[in-house]
Amino acid sequence: MAKRLTAAVGIDIGTQTIKTATIKATKDGYAITGLGIAPTPEGTVDHTGIFDAQTLGATLKGLVAMSSGGVKDAVFCINGQAAVVVRILEVPRMSDTELADHMQWEIQRNIPFAETNVVSDFRPIDNPALANTQNMEVVMAVSPRSAIETVMTLVRSAGCKPAAIDVEALGLARVIKTCHYNDLGIKNACFVHMGHSTTSINMYRSGVLAFPRTVPLGGSMLTKAISDGLGLTMAEAESRKVTQGYVPATAAGGGFGAGPTMVTPYNPFSEQQDTGEDSGQDAGQGMGGGEGDAVYQAMAGTLEEFTAEIRRSIDYFKSRGGDVEMIGMSGGGANLKGMVDYVNRSLGIPTVKVDPFANIAVMLPAEHETLRQNNASEFATAIGMALHIAYD
């Protein structure tokens, strides 16, 4: 039997940034002891996966050296349309031996890659709705072997030992069970993790994965909307989004049973401005009016499209007998002022911003504390990877 790890660095490589989080076992439980974030080298990663491991490895090595506190065991989050597929399957109830044989057939039947040499894993999951039936559910992950080999090479080039390769949906489940055990962790919850290029929209029953989905919509879509709407470069639009972007307290879109949101076209000569009272409005009110309103108006249609995707995912889950009592949001996109309240209003479901530092000890060096304060939501996946040591 393999020895349980007592420390690990979780690695999350996104198309815009690389995040690392180190967690160690203590006498009182587990503690987050290190954080790191760095820009992803341009041209090394896209929404399909990693394709320049050499350049990426050099950046990751420096980041791990500065942030891991000497911890070498790494848990890597594999992502990308061409790198991994995660599915929930309903199969006849059977013994472990029978399930292992059956899943070989299911895996071959569900390979979506051109490469047929794959690495796979599966595990049964609890679905109370099937308790008195002859069926059971299984979560399955499949990756091309070449994608796994790229990850192994990348992790070793960073000076780490590959302890595990995991998928985002299961890492976020650990964040729910550890950090939000008293709300999302006891609910039928939708966890929306909004990254730069993609967003995962996963359903959980009391912290157990029930339905995974990833859509090619992320923070970059809002940046592009601002760029197109205001005639800015992407770099200028990103800056505007971060410094001036907000969603007014009166905005809502993509809701259940509601018609499309009526958006007043931006008028640069109008002196009227929103006076919403949510946390996102503080910045909007302090911008002299028009600039913040212009950024919102440029994003409005894309925001509606985003909430519509969440609604479609929830509708599908409900059509299969599921339910959603609460929504949690994380990732860089959740930092947009007013975004969490906007989703709450649009979908009519209580929505909270996930705090991956809640209900777990934090023992960070002083130089890492700023990352926690400024980028907390972006570390959800990396922390979920490192929490592998507490659950697996």
Give the predicted TM-score (pTM) of the model: 0.88
pLDDT (0 to 100) of residue 119: 93
pLDDT digits (tens, 9 = 90+) for 53-69: 889 999 999 999 999 99
- Confidence class for position 294, pLDDT limits 50, 70, 90: very high
Choice between 107 and 339, residue whose per-residue pLDDT is larger? 339
**Which whole-number Å values give the CA distances from 12 to 65, 86, 146, 158, in the listed order?**
15, 17, 19, 13
Q: Which of 110-114, 124-128, 293-297 is most confident?
A: 293-297
pLDDT digits (tens, 9 = 90+) for 13-34: 999 999 999 999 999 999 999 9
195/332 Cα distance (integer angstroms): 6
pLDDT (0 to 100) of residue 129: 86
pLDDT at residue 177 is higher than 90: yes
358 φ/ψ angles, rounded to the nearest 5 degrees: -80, 145
Report the 10 Å Cβ neighbour count for 82.
Answer: 19
Q: Which domains does the chain have, with CATH numbers?
A: 7-82+148-182+356-391 (3.30.420.40), 85-141 (3.30.1490), 219-347 (no CATH)
Q: What is the DSSP letter of 183?
A: T
Question: What is the rounded end-to-end Cα distance, in angstroms, of the chain?
Answer: 12
